[in-house]
Amino acid sequence: MAADQGDAIAEHSLGNAYYKGRGVEKNYGESVKWYRRSAEHGDADAAVEVGTAYQSGKGIEKDYGEALKWFTKAAVVGHARGQNEVAWLLATCPESSYRNGATALDYARKAVAQSPQDNGTYQDTLAASYARNGQFNEAVPAQEKAVELIKANQQSFTPEQVRGAELRLDLYKKGQPFTDE
């Protein structure tokens, strides 16, 4: 009822319920609908969820431009995860027209600066941003730190994510940026 009346917290909660299938049947399309409503009421976390849906194509047609728009809504209000998502997309997007290494690096630095020092995900994004700019002397140590942090927190990462971080390190050592496929 609160969600139907425009309560951003209730809308976000309903988005989570549909995304995870808690108390309702899992439905990614419905989750995007409720996350979007919450984001439109100022919820930066929900804006990131909408961006993630557009980036992945879960519950909605994949659209990197829309993903960037929603991530940016969160990033511009100082939301660290939003900043990280903008940076990752601009540094690694499969569609080259969306890549912008300089802006990616700016947002990645902001995300790292306001996150806990053990955040391997944000460090990984910082390294990808350095690499997109051709700054491999910075990318390699940043990615080494990311791999170290990710391995130290393996309970939060899948084996594929750990291996992905290691493969990105190998790319940067060879002077090649990473592109997310």
Mean pLDDT over each residue of the chain, to the nearest integer: 95
- What is the reported pLDDT for 2? 62
Domain ranges of the chain: 1-77, 80-181
The Cα 28–Cα 30 span in angstroms is 5
Residue 181 — pLDDT band, cuts 50, 70, 90? confident
Q: Residue range 75-96: average pLDDT?
A: 97
- Which has more confidence, 137 or 14? 137
Residue 10 — pLDDT band, cuts 50, 70, 90? confident
CATH 3.30.590 for domain 80-181? no
Tens-digit pLDDT profile for residues 132-162? 999 999 999 999 999 999 999 988 999 999 9
pTM over 0.75: yes
- What is the reported pLDDT for 104? 98
Tens-digit pLDDT profile for residues 16-57? 999 999 999 999 999 999 999 999 999 999 999 999 999 999
Q: Check if 1-77 and 80-181 are the same fold.
A: yes
- What is the reported pLDDT for 1? 67
Please state, for a pLDDT cut of 90, what percent of the chain lies above it. Answer: 87
Tell me the CATH number for domain 1-77.
1.25.40.10
Q: What SS3 string covers the chain?
A: CCCCCCCHHHHHHHHHHHHHCCCCCCCHHHHHHHHHHHHHCCCHHHHHHHHHHHHHCCCCCCCHHHHHHHHHHHHCCCCHHHHHHHHHHHHHCCCHHHCCHHHHHHHHHHHHHCCCCCCHHHHHHHHHHHHHCCCHHHHHHHHHHHHHHHHHCHHHCCHHHHHHHHHHHHHHHCCCCCCCC
